[in-house]
Chains A and B, each alone.
Chain A
Amino acid sequence: MRAYGCGRGLVASLVVALTGCTTLVKFEPEPPTVVGELRLTGRVEYNGNPEYLPGTLVVVEPSSDSSTPVFVYRHDVRYRLSSVAAIWNPLLLFGFRGVGIDVTASGLLEIKKNDRVVKRYDATCVVRMRRSIWVWGAPSQSELRREGLLAVRKMIEAQMTQDRELLEDLLVRAHQARWTSAWEDYDEQTTSENGSTALPRARLRR
């Protein structure tokens, strides 16, 4: 009976010790794992790391045409360290995860057309890291920031993919309709002038 109790104590100690050797990283909310395909072309106003820009946006050369969609993307990161009072917690010595960092990443995407915001997407993700003092290779704040911003990127991509129909109507079809209309007007004008449409069509094509 005594040996049994000793064995249980040993197992419990091992569990606590092994748990203390791992780092817990939790995303709130969890970012989507699968994001559908959507590509929107336009001018992008963003001067951060391109890795964090939603992959649904395809950058085109700056254009003076006001009908070209403009994507304005901004992100922000806040760090929060766990309380210093944890230093005095004796349970830390036994592998409890009392040391931690919370990184809150947020992103805001505004889609503008004709200098007017037509759609807005935002997402926030909190990455919580907890470790014990026995851990040396825990993710740094920079790594958590990167994970958070990539999660925000995925969340915005997922929101945009859900709005595929709306965005395509709003940006792609409207843009095509405008060009088709301009093309036809130009076509009629040039055909009536010299009977040839080849050169103006080439000029219009972008």
Chain B
Amino acid sequence: MNRRLPRMVLPLFLVLGCAASGASFRPIESIPEGKAVVYIYRPNSLIGGGIRYHVAVGNQRIVYLIRGGYFPYLAEPGETEFWARTEAKETITSDFKAGEVYYLKGTVGIGLAVGRPRFEFVSQEIGAEEVAKCKLLPAAQGNASE
């Protein structure tokens, strides 16, 4: 029985994955002039917890989004498209205004082989409450390829 236990627990860890472990949430105090802040975050949910994905703008990777993590992205004003890919690509676009704060929530939706990325811009109330429970993720390096 004792020998079977690690074999049963290991796949569970692989499925759930590890949650973010960086610094606790700290809001950006002063937004740089001519920029908007987009908090890209993923709630610490067990559903699809083992699925991780890069969030990118154009061909620039922004953050490797894992559950319980967030990243503050400084966006140019105007129309910006965020995207991510697992077994399928998902994109979301919004218009940003300089000096404003936005909350982009990433989750995992149902897929055939693996979960697919899902994005949603949430309200200030919901976003501020959920992102406060997340840990800071490091900025992603390199270019993203579609």
Contact = CB atoms under 8 A, between A and B. Distances in A.
Tell whether A and B belong to one assembly.
Answer: yes
Interface of A: 47-49, 77, 79, 81, 84, 86-87, 92, 98-99, 133-134, 136, 138, 140-143, 145-146
A142 B80 CA distance: 10
A81 B120 contact: yes
B100 interface: no
B118 A142 contact: no
Contacts of A141: 90-93, 119
Interface of B: 47, 78-79, 81, 83, 87-95, 107, 109-112, 118-121
B104 to A, nearest CB: 11
B95 A99 contact: no
Main secondary structure of the interface of B (DSSP, over half): strand
A99 B89 contact: no
A132 B47 CA distance: 19
A79 B88 CA distance: 19
A79 B121 CA distance: 7
A48 B47 contact: no
Contact of B79 (A48, A133, A140, A143): A48
B109 A81 contact: yes
B58 to A, nearest CB: 13
Contact of B93 (A47, A86, A136, A145): A145
A141 B118 CA distance: 9
Contact of A140 (B91, B110, B121): B91
Given A79-B120, A81-B120, A140-B89, A48 B95 contact: yes
A92 B109 CA distance: 13
Contacts of B95: 48
